[in-house]
Amino acid sequence: MSDVAKLSVGEHEIELPVVVGTENEQGLDISKLRRLTGMITLDEGFVNTGSTQSAITFLDGEQGILRYRGYAIEDICKNCDFIDATLLLLNGELPTDEQRADFRQAVIADMHLPQEMEDLIRAFPREAHPMAMLVSCVNALSTHHQDQVDPLDSEQVHRSRQRLIATLPTLTACIHRHRLDLPFVAPNPELGYVENFLTMMFADEQGQYEIDADFVAALNLLLIVHLDHEQNCSTSTVRVVGSANSNLYASITAGICALWGPLHGGANEACVNMLSTIAADGGDVAKYVEMAKDKENGFRLMGFGHRVYKNYDPRARIIKSACDVLLEKLDLDDPLFEIAQALEKVALEDEYFVARKLYPNVDFYSGVIYRAIGIPVELFTVLFAMGRLPGWIAHWQELHASPTKRICRPRQIYTGSELREI
């Protein structure tokens, strides 16, 4: 393809530069379109709109490929833990032994919460949704770290990103225990990141919890596959908010709000609720497939379909194999896993799903692992946020490092009434 595209509109004949990415994906640079023609582009839901050039994650939805910083997701899952993958995303390269040890130590040291944050969590109604509590907590955290809120000061940004990564597991565990009216468990500097999370979640009144290596491995894997997914809804939100020079805490808070929606990260909770409904209704998966096809019904198969993947989501494949391994090791039969697999089989053979290229996504099987570990369904999206956090931060950093950064401010085509008088 030539490196310009020609556009003829009204009396204008203009050339639009073609931007080519590392993997040969191509886009038209329309940044001068309005200046040259007086027109804007219209693309509701940003189906064809690239908001930025990014070097973090490559995704080929047609082929079902996902790579962080050039490494295949399958390779990363096999060879890294969550901290390694986090550093890869944040810094562009896998850490040296020394960098890994330093980061681990710094993060573990930052895991504790100020007393006032614990009091804040205790003030929430126990039955409130954990995502509502998390959103409030992440924003409130910035009030305790007012020396970390200048987005243009790299030292402050560095400390806030470390604090956020360190604190999300602690907040999650405290929210969980508050809902059960259990005393909070302090982080243990001797334990690793995931081990600390599990202990703070599940330790008994004496602070004792026997760490299960299979749970640690499964959780590392789940956190890694959720780390980043290029310009998805919550990441775009973080970038948009960050583009106004809002601080990192505020930008991440906005990202968590976006993630909560059932069409995005909230689908993991919605999916397990759907599987439970099907189980309670006698396990008739064909009935629910028919309901999902009926446009009048409004019901969708949660955990199915994706804006970008028109092939099997590689994350779903990784999680499904991990489910197999974990359930077998634990000698567990999860009826919801059986229903999920039956549903997948029926849907993948159905013309409606085949024609629309609808496959299971990351949220379809993740709940089976969370359930096996003992994480309640209302906390699933909080776990997604814990995994996605370093991805959001990497994008926020990339935005601020870009020499072409501008405030994100889309335009519109006005369709209201013409000028009228009162």
Is 226 annotated as catalytic? no
Q: How far is the CB of 354 from ligand CMC (least distance, A)?
A: 11
Stretch that binds ligand CMC, among 142-150, 242-250, 305-313, 369-377 (CB under 6 A): 305-313
Size of the site for ligand CMC (CB under 6 A): 20
- Looking at the Cβ atoms of 96 and 352, the one nearer to ligand CMC is 352
- Looking at the Cβ atoms of 110 and 290, the one nearer to ligand CMC is 290
Which residues are bridge partners to 26 per DSSP? 20
**Could you give the string, one character per residue 157-196, with x where binding to ligand CMC holds by CB under 6 A and - elsewhere?**
----------------------------------------
- Looking at the Cβ atoms of 344 and 363, the one nearer to ligand CMC is 363
Dihedral angle sign, alpha carbons of residues 319, 320, 323, 324: negative
**Could you give the string, one character per residue 335-374, with x where binding to ligand CMC holds by CB under 6 A and - elsewhere?**
---------------------x-x--xxx-----------
Decide if 227 contacts 388 (C-beta within 8 A): yes
**Could you give the string, one character per residue 378-417, with x where binding to ligand CMC holds by CB under 6 A and - elsewhere?**
----------------------------------------
Give the residue among 346, 351, 332 at the shortest CA–CA distance from 283. 346
Distance between start and end Cα atoms, the chain? 55
d(CA 373, CA 123): 27
d(CA 260, CA 269): 10
Is 363 annotated as catalytic? yes
DSSP code of residue 408: -
Residues in 21-50 that interact with ligand CMC by CB under 6 A: 45
What is the residue type of 114?
A: P
Shortest Cβ contact with ligand CMC: which residue?
305
- 348: which 2 tokens? 């993948």
- Looking at the Cβ atoms of 145 and 306, the one nearer to ligand CMC is 306
Q: How far is the CB of 262 from ligand CMC (least distance, A)?
A: 6
Alpha helices in 92-231 (DSSP H): 97-109, 115-123, 130-141, 154-179, 193-202, 213-225
Q: Catalytic residue, from 178, 226, 229, 306: name it.
A: 306
- Looking at the Cβ atoms of 241 and 301, the one nearer to ligand CMC is 301
Residues in 231-290 that interact with ligand CMC by CB under 6 A: 232, 263-265, 267
Please enumerate in sequence order all residues whose Cβ is within 8 A of that of 227, keeping only pairs 6 or more positions apart, or say none. Answer: 68, 82, 85, 86, 89, 387, 388, 390, 391
Q: How far is the CB of 339 from ligand CMC (least distance, A)?
A: 16
- Looking at the Cβ atoms of 215 and 364, the one nearer to ligand CMC is 364
d(CA 7, CA 3): 13
Burial class (CB in 10 A: 0-12, 13-18, 19+), 35: exposed
d(CA 56, CA 65): 14
Decide if 34 contacts 24 (C-beta within 8 A): no
104 binds ligand CMC (CB under 6 A): no
302 binds ligand CMC (CB under 6 A): yes
- Looking at the Cβ atoms of 304 and 380, the one nearer to ligand CMC is 304
303 binds ligand CMC (CB under 6 A): yes
- Which residue ranges make up the site for ligand CMC (CB under 6 A)? 45, 232, 263-265, 267, 292, 300-307, 356, 358, 361-363
Question: Which residues are known catalytic residues?
Answer: 306, 363
